[in-house]
Every structure is written in structure tokens, then in C-alpha cells.
Amino acid sequence: MTTLWEKIESVGPLDETAMAAARERQDTLTKPLGSLGRLEELSVKVAGIRQMATPRISDKAIITMAGDHGVAADGVSAYPSEVTPQMVYNFLRGGAAINVLARHVGARVVVVDMGVAVDLEPHPDLIVRKIGYGTRNIAVGPAMTKEEAVLAIEAGIEIVEAEIARGLDIVATGDMGIGNTTPSSAIVAAVTGQAVSSVTGRGTGLDDVRLRAKIETIERALCVNQPDPRDGLDILAKVGGYEIGGLAGVIIGAAANRLPVVIDGFISGAAASIAVLLCPQAADYLIAAHNSVEIGHRVMLQRMGMAPLFDLNLRLGEGTGAALGISLVEAATRLLSEMATFAEAAVSEAVDNAGTTVV
């Protein structure tokens, strides 16, 4: 079996030849130059990822990973941990927001148990890659061992590669886990060095008193564990989550197989931070769907040099924002491949005063 480190080594740069061809075609389509804005940029990026001048997107999946967190016992969430398995069952029944939006964009939802604190009932659409029954409480010690962190990432790689074997063209990341904004805030604070209070939000709706307690819990976790800001694996093991590690693996596995990855909100952003620390080249394969209400998400995206496609004040997770992001990426690639050029449409191009074609 290919190891994590071998997979990281196999991630290559974007294909500049394919990107140049995509740009050239964009400049001949029946529109003023650059008039489709970021949709043009998206199409060129996907061309470089897929090594195709006119990439197509038809097979889409949202990988939603679930895990529980020992730190939830400290009251960092407005909801009890029992909600994690309940929501997984909702995903499997097709009744959650992610199911609705996945159907809307024509994507399948791949539901994975990475570390739910109970044994879930068997279901044909449930993938069980449980590393443990929830992480340990980061406020008193490491969330997991480094060996468990590697297992979580490698599980994510294997899951996305199984989807790729089915013909996947694009993947999006999603999450479920009561308390998981707490390790995500710990990760962004560890990576950026910013104060915990500046990267920690209300999660599922904490009041001021419980928000202050959540911040103090994260500060204690960072003090107790002392994660190395340069070492993604150390950060994941000390203050992360099993589903966060799994999503980092999805990102690395997708990048190694030249697949675009649309990342969702705060938890997916934390996973992306881990993935990019481990494999800086993987950043080229990421597309940030949206800007979460969680205040640490913007910090995280800025750190990775990523601009989200939209801002709808979303804070649900599950992959909901990423599902909508897939729709925009598909629209961008369809414009590139399906629009007529000026020559094909027999439309005259504009010419400036110097005689140069400007479209």
C-alpha cells in the first residue's frame, strides 16, 4: 500500500501548457476579454489541474466525514455529542441540508465514520473507517497519537481514490462532529500564531459566557500540547480530530490524482491547513467555496492565499457551501468548453485604434 509520504511526493505542479491553451480559448470566446471574471480564472485553474485544455465535470462527490471530540465534554458546543450519530443517520436517509444541495448539483454524498463515539448501525452507504471512538480531550492532552493521525490521513486518501476509480471528476469536503470548531480554532491558532480569541467563534450558537469558556479551553489545549506550527502531523495529533485528518487525506489524495478539491467551511479549512503544511503543492488543487461565519475561517484562507467564491453567511458545515461551489466550478468549465468562439459564431471582434484585436 502506498504510504502517506509517497503520496505527498507524487503531487505535482499544475499543467502550464493546458492552462495556456485554456486562456487562449477564453480570449477567443464570444465575450469581451475577462468579462466572466473569476469564472474564467476557475476554468483555467481546473484545466491545469486536470491537464486538459477544456476539462469536463460530470462525476461529482461530496465526502462528508464524521467524528466526535473528547473536548465536547467541556461544554464547547451548544449541542450534545449524541447529535453526531443522529446527523449521520440523517445523511444516510437523505434528509440533511447536504443531501438537498448535493441533489441540486448532481453530486453523491459519501458518508464516512472516522471516529463517531458509538458504533453506528450498518448501512450500505456508510463507510466505516473509525480510528477511535472520538478523540481524547485536547484540554488535558493530545487528541490522538501520531500513528492514529497518519491512519486518519491515509484513510482519507484511500476513500477518495476509491471514488476516483469510479470516475470522479471533482470532489468536495464536508464534516460532521459536535465540538469540531474547537479543534479547528486550535489548529488555526497553532498554524498562524494568532490569539485564540481572534480565531474562535460561537460554533453552534454559544452565548458570551460559554464562548469565553471555549476560548479558555483552547488556550489550555495549546499550552498543554505545544503543537509545532511547522509540523502538520504534530498539530493534527495534538489538537485535531479524526474527521479533520481524514479530510486532509482526501485533499492530498485528490491532488496526487490531479483532481480539483472544493473545500467547505471552517472544519474543511482546518483540514486544508494540515494538508498544505504536509504537502505545500496541494494548495494549487484547492478551491475555497465560501467564507464561513466562523471568524477563524477567513484567517485560515488568507494564510493559504485563497479567496472564497462567495459569502452567504453559512456556518452549517456538512459540505453545504462546497456543494454550491461545485456548481460554480462546473459552470466555469462548461463556459470554457461550450461557448462558441468568435470564428465559430461568425461574430466580429472589436479592434482598438492601433489595429489590435481586443474582443
- Residue 318: pLDDT band with limits 50, 70, 90: very high
Do 182 and 94 belong to one domain?
A: yes
**Nearest-5° Cα angle at 226, 219 to 304:** 80
Catalytic site residue from 154, 161, 243, 318: 318
Q: Is the pLDDT of residue 357 over 70?
A: no
Q: Check residue 28 and report its DSSP letter.
A: T
Q: What is the pLDDT of residue 349?
A: 75
Q: What distance in Å separates the CA atoms of residue 175 and residue 79, rounded to the nearest whole number? A: 16
Residue 359 in any domain: the answer is no
Residue 103: which CATH number? 3.40.50.10210
**Catalytic status, residue 318:** yes
Do 117 and 202 belong to one domain?
A: yes
Residue 354 in any domain: the answer is no
Do 206 and 262 belong to one domain?
A: yes
Residue 11: which CATH number? 1.10.1610.10
Cell 450500505 belongs to residue:
124
Do 237 and 100 belong to one domain?
A: yes
Tell me the three cell numbers of residue 183. Answer: 479543534
What burial letters (b/e) apply to 9-25, b meaning 16+ CB within 10 Å? Answer: eebeebbeebbebbbeb
Residue 210 in any domain: the answer is yes
Do 227 and 103 belong to one domain?
A: yes
Do 89 and 14 belong to one domain?
A: no
- Other beta carbons less than 10 A from residue 78's beta carbon: 14
Residue 279 in any domain: the answer is yes
Cβ atoms of 182 and 174 within 8 Å: the answer is: no
Do 125 and 19 belong to one domain?
A: no
C-alpha closest to that of 110 among 175, 45, 169, 29: 175
- Residue 164: pLDDT band with limits 50, 70, 90: very high
- Residue 355: pLDDT band with limits 50, 70, 90: very low
Cβ atoms of 11 and 255 within 8 Å: the answer is: yes
pLDDT digits over 269-292, tens only?
Answer: 999 999 999 999 999 999 999 999
Q: How many domains does the chain have?
A: 2
Residue 89 in any domain: the answer is yes
Q: Which residues contact residue 29 at a Cβ distance below 8 angstroms, ignoring those fewer than 6 apart?
A: 335, 336, 339, 340, 341, 342
Do 27 and 140 belong to one domain?
A: no
Do 201 and 340 belong to one domain?
A: no
Residue 33 in any domain: the answer is yes
Predicted TM-score of the model (pTM): 0.95
Residue 257 in any domain: the answer is yes
Residue 211 in any domain: the answer is yes
Q: What is the pLDDT of residue 353?
A: 47
Do 49 and 130 belong to one domain?
A: no
**Nearest-5° Cα angle at 289, 284 to 293:** 125
Do 340 and 320 belong to one domain?
A: no
Q: Check residue 348 and report its DSSP letter.
A: P
pLDDT digits over 189-231, tens only?
Answer: 999 999 999 999 988 788 999 999 999 999 999 999 999 999 9
Average pLDDT, rounded, for the chain: 95
- List the domain range (segments joined by +) for residue 35: 4-55+336-345
Do 280 and 321 belong to one domain?
A: yes
C-alpha closest to that of 229 among 281, 265, 274, 272: 274
